[in-house]
Amino acid sequence: MSAYINQKADRLRSDGRVKVIINGVDAFVASVQGDHATYGVFIDLENRHSICNCPARGDCSHQVAVLRQLLEEA
């Protein structure tokens, strides 16, 4: 994962732009206010899978920001 993705994820979190909407046992849904739009992120810990509806391919800063937010709240 690139330093850029990590830095952007930290910025999104520090700016308060990550909102966990559904906090399940192994699955989570969050909203992230990105630089250009609001994106939906789904995290499935049991199956080690995540999805974001942003245009990035592969892992993105929105997914990383949500994962870090969940770790902080745990």
Query: What pLDDT is stored for residue 51 in this prediction?
Result: 97
Which residue range forms the structural domain that includes residue 24?
3-73
Q: Which residues, 6 or more positions from 27, have their beta carbon under 8 angstroms from its beta carbon? A: 42, 43, 44, 45, 46
User: First CA to last CA across the chain, in angstroms?
Assistant: 23
Task: Tell me the pLDDT tens digit for each residue of 13-54.
Answer: 999 999 999 999 899 999 999 999 999 999 999 999 999 999
pTM exceeds 0.85 for this model: yes
One-letter amino acid at 18 equals: V
Q: For residue 26, what is the DSSP state? A: S
Q: How far apart (Å, rounded) are the C-alpha atoms in residues 60 and 6?
A: 9
Please state the domain count of the chain.
1
Contact yes or no for 42/22 (Cβ under 8 A): no
